[in-house]
Amino acid sequence: MTNNTASNYPARILEMYKTMTLIRAFEEIAEEAFDAGLVNGSIHQYIGEEAIGTAVCANLRKTDFILSNHRGHGHAIAKGANPEAMMKELLGKVGGTSGGKGGSMHIADFSVGMLGANGVLADGLTMGVGAAQALVLRNVDAIVTVFVGDGTTNRGPFYESLNWAMIYELPILFVCENNTYASSTSTRKVTAGPGPVARAEAFGMPAYDVDGNDVREVDEIASKIITNIRNGGGPQFLHAKTYRIKGHVSRDKMLYRPEGETEANWKNEPISRCADWLIKNGISEAEINSTNASAYKEIRDALEAAIAAPFPDGKLAYKDVQDLGNRYLGEHS
Ligand SMILES: Cc1ncc(C[n+]2csc(CCOP(=O)(O)OP(=O)(O)O)c2C)c(N)n1
Ligand SMILES: [Mg+2]
């Protein structure tokens, strides 16, 4: 990622546009693969929320760490995970990020600091705090970022994690992606009090609100907050308002949604907002179009490669999962 200086600013935003488009392409093509019966398990799409993971990760180093949740494809791509290996993981194939044994909610790539998606709500928080504690104990110059959904702020481990992070002044950023829904429930209806920022502030944690559909705004505030954490400022909280354009999971028909709500929110989605800004700021439409085309080609190629890849050998089912030995082979892995 280019540095944030005035002269190369549109180039920096174009880089983020590329990442957001790659995430969008991944989510759309993953849905096609799901509909074709190629994906085991369900997928939770990040469509409409791409600006948050993209702009936050644009301010992280490769040596920093992130923890994700069930809606983790965008976070993984933004942190630098390989989309082809991710697609292989969705299809349960050899070469997947977790050897094809984890699927969508267990994508991890330690080589780029992506410590894992997670199907158990709020587990990423406790693991993230543990990772940040380990960095302090080992005197490592890096930070941890945890992405958490708005509904998840109603779970107990959210409070334990924020409390522990503050007590030990850990180098950690909590990013709450408020997409207004928790499955089929409007989060507002099941959340007491003024919301996530007030909850973080109750622990004495600096907390900020941002328009999560404006990649430039997220970039600006993430840059400040992350610099602050690197300089010893302790835990910080970013609450990014966005909207989950798609259903909760790939097969959700969204019958609980008021009519017209999705359509209204499409008008505010982050990628076309970013394209409009880029075009007004000197980037040609041709460049935007070729960015889109190459993102979709990369992901189509990834799906083809995933389809062509073999399934893992069943005898290796226990390998890398838990070292209890392989009862079929009668040996320890
Ligand atoms: C401990 C736990 N409880 C319930 C679930 C089922 N569940 C999966 S996603 C979800 C809603 C999460 O909403 P939010 O935190 O807002 O994240 P979003 O899906 O909107 O990104 C629920 C209830 C779960 N996976 N884990
Ligand atoms: Mg939500």
pLDDT confidence of residue 6: 74
Ligand 1 atom nearest the C-alpha of 121 is 26
Please compute the mean of the pLDDT values over residues 147-170 and round it to a whole number: 98
Q: Which of 179, 247, 236, 187 is nearest to 213 (CA)?
A: 179
What is the spatial distance between Cα 148 and Cα 216, in angstroms, rounded to a whole number? 21
Q: Token match 């494809």: residue?
A: 73
CA-based R_g, the chain, Å: 20
What is the spatial distance between Cα 211 and Cα 217, in angstroms, rounded to a whole number? 7
pLDDT confidence of residue 5: 66
Query: What residues line ligand 1, using a CB cutoff of 6 Å?
Result: 70-71, 119-121, 149-152, 179, 181-183, 187, 244, 248
Nearest CA, atom 20, ligand 1: 182
Q: What percent of the chain lies above the pLDDT cut of 70?
A: 95
Please compute the mean of the pLDDT values over residues 178-191 and round it to a whole number: 97
Nearest CA, atom 19, ligand 1: 182
Q: pTM here?
A: 0.96
Angle value at C-alpha 177, between 219 and 297, nearest 5 degrees:
70
Q: Is 231 exposed, middle or buried (0-12, 13-18, 19+ CB in 10 A)?
A: exposed
pLDDT category at 315 given cuts 50, 70, 90 is confident
What is the spatial distance between Cα 290 and Cα 277, in angstroms, rounded to a whole number? 17
Q: How far is the CA of 257 from the centre of ligand 1 (A)?
A: 17
Ligand 1 atom nearest the C-alpha of 49 is 21
Q: What percent of the chain lies above the pLDDT cut of 90?
A: 90
Nearest CA, atom 16, ligand 1: 151
pLDDT digits (tens, 9 = 90+) for 4-46: 667 789 999 999 999 999 999 999 999 999 999 999 889 999 9
pLDDT digits (tens, 9 = 90+) for 77-90: 999 999 999 999 99
pLDDT confidence of residue 333: 43
> Best mutation site among 152, 175, 188 for ligand 1, i.e. most ligand atoms within 8 A of its Cβ?
152
The protein residues having their C-beta less than 5 angstroms from ligand 2 (an ion) are 149-151, 179, 181-182
Q: How far is the CA of 263 from the centre of ligand 2 (A)?
A: 18
* 65: pLDDT strictly greater than 90: yes
Nearest CA, atom 9, ligand 1: 183
* 3: pLDDT strictly greater than 70: no
* 318: pLDDT strictly greater than 80: no
pLDDT confidence of residue 325: 60
Q: Which of 7, 24, 10, 16 is nearest to 215 (CA)?
A: 16
User: How many CA within 13 A on the CB side of residue 118?
Assistant: 21
Note whether 107 and 97 are within 8 A (CB).
yes
All structural domains of the chain with their residue ranges: 6-316
pLDDT category at 322 given cuts 50, 70, 90 is low
What is the spatial distance between Cα 124 and Cα 82, in angstroms, rounded to a whole number? 21
> Best mutation site among 120, 121, 244 for ligand 1, i.e. most ligand atoms within 8 A of its Cβ?
121
| Backbone angle region of 165, left / alpha / beta, with phi > 0 → left and psi within -120 to 50 → alpha | alpha
Q: How far is the CA of 187 from the centre of ligand 2 (A)?
A: 7
Ligand 1 atom nearest the C-alpha of 178 is 16
Give the phi and the psi of residue 237 in degrees, each rounded to 5. Answer: -130, 130
* 178: pLDDT strictly greater than 50: yes
Is 3.40.50.970 the CATH number for 6-316?
yes
* Helix or strand (DSSP H, E) at 148: strand 144-149
pLDDT digits (tens, 9 = 90+) for 100-157: 999 999 999 999 999 999 999 999 999 999 999 999 999 999 999 999 999 999 999 9
Q: Is 287 exposed, middle or buried (0-12, 13-18, 19+ CB in 10 A)?
A: middle
Nearest CA, atom 12, ligand 1: 182
